[in-house]
């Protein structure tokens, strides 16, 4: 496992982290699925433990993942290892009712609840969870700085959905950004990477496997279970379109042991990236993910990916 520094924070992180949304299992908000089907508690705990054994030090979760279950499992899985681990969690998706809440009262209470579930005294990276532009006020940024000054937070950042949101977070003093970036979805990274690198802002890449599509196990006939969040996002038409795109990537199997490994190595190729956080529900998936560390893709493969799915 190779390690990188998270921007100017001085925090060293494994370049392959563990995304812990999936271990939270199935959950719902307002009747809509917001989690992942098929998670098993025993397997999830073993996945966290196996990741540590393989050199993974960064664990990214959120209070909303499984309505707190993911944080509990991370805390249990890292029992005895927390002083050396880097735990990142998020706040903003209300557990009390559908929607978001970035009020000072809610965030302060949510932070204490996350500390309790994780059984730690400090969160290494506390992230605003998908804040819209109008929520990212100077007062909110001031609150995050206050939480850091209190000692309950080591560094703070934001998990954003657009380049504009990322820019605003950087302007507000975020020390790290979490963005969606993968072979099929490069736009946000292309816009934010140069600025993040210039400003010394750490970058966590989420969805590096395109919600599982870049594992190669789905095709045009895929239908996700009703308790899986992808069932609402991937209509039959979108499933077919995505399958067609993935079919163009067969050449990457010559570069790596699997399409997933090549996809992770693609995200690690950019120097602005601090860590990549693929999800895993089982130890076997963890083992496959960590293979991507320290094995760069060839320049010809990177160039061809850019030609296929990068900016025109």
Tens-digit pLDDT profile for residues 253-295: 898 999 999 999 999 999 999 999 999 989 999 999 999 998 8
CA torsion angle for 272, 255, 221, 223 (degrees, to 10)?
Answer: -40
What pLDDT shows up at residue 80?
A: 93
Rounded to 10°, the helix 104-118/69-77 angle is 40
Mean pLDDT of the chain: 93
Rounded to 10°, the helix 283-290/259-268 angle is 50
Say which residue, 177 or 225, is predicted with more confidence: 177
Chain centre distance of CA 231: 20
- Percentage above 90 pLDDT, the chain: 79
Kindly report the CATH number assigned to the domain that includes residue 40: 3.20.20.100
Say which residue, 34 or 125, is predicted with more confidence: 125
Say which residue, 97 or 105, is predicted with more confidence: 105
- Structural domains in the chain (count): 1
Quick check: 312 pLDDT over 50?
no
- Percentage above 70 pLDDT, the chain: 95
In total, the chain counts a number of residues equal to 312
- Give the range of the structural domain holding residue 77, as residue numbers without chain letter: 3-309
Quick check: 179 pLDDT over 50?
yes
What pLDDT shows up at residue 28?
A: 64
Quick check: 84 pLDDT over 70?
yes
Bridge-based pairing of strands 28-29 and 3-5 is: unpaired
| Full-model pTM | 0.93
Q: CB–CB of 59/86 below 8 Å? A: yes
CA–CA separation, 60 and 162 (whole Å):
19
What pLDDT shows up at residue 238?
A: 93
């Amino acid at each position: 496992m190779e390690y990188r520094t998270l921007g100017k924070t001085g925090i060293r992180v494994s370049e392959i982290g563990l995304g812990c949304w999936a271990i939270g299992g199935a959950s719902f908000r307002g009747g809509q699925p917001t989690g992942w089907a098929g998670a098993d508690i025993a397997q999830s705990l073993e996945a966290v433990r196996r990741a540590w054994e393989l050199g993974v030090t960064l664990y990214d979760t959120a209070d909303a993942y499984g309505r707190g279950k993911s944080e509990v499992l991370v805390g249990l899985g890292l029992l005895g290892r927390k002083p050396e681990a880097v735990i990142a969690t998020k706040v903003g998706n209300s557990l009390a009712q559908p929607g978001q809440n970035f009020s000072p009262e809610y965030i302060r209470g949510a932070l204490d609840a996350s500390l309790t579930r994780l059984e730690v005294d400090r969160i290494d990276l506390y992230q605003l969870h998908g804040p819209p532009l109008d929520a990212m006020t100077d007062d909110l940024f001031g609150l995050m700085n206050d939480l850091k000054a209190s000692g309950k937070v080591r560094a703070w950042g934001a998990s954003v959905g657009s380049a504009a949101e990322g820019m605003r977070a950087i302007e507000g003093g975020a020390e790290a950004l979490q963005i969606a970036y993968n072979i099929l979805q490069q736009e946000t990274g292309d816009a934010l990477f140069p600025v993040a690198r210039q400003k010394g802002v750490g970058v966590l890449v989420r969805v590096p496997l395109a919600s599982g599509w870049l594992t190669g196990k789905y095709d045009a006939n895929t239908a996700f279970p009703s308790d899986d969040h992808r069932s609402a996002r991937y209509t039959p038409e979108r499933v077919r379109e995505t399958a067609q795109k993935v079919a163009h990537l067969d050449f990457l199997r010559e570069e790596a042991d699997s399409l997933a490994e090549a996809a992770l190595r693609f995200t690690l190729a950019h120097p602005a990236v601090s860590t990549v956080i693929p999800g895993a529900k089982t130890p076997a998936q963890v083992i496959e993910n960590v293979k991507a560390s320290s094995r760069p893709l060839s320049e010809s493969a990177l160039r061809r990916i850019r030609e296929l799915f990068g900016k025109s």
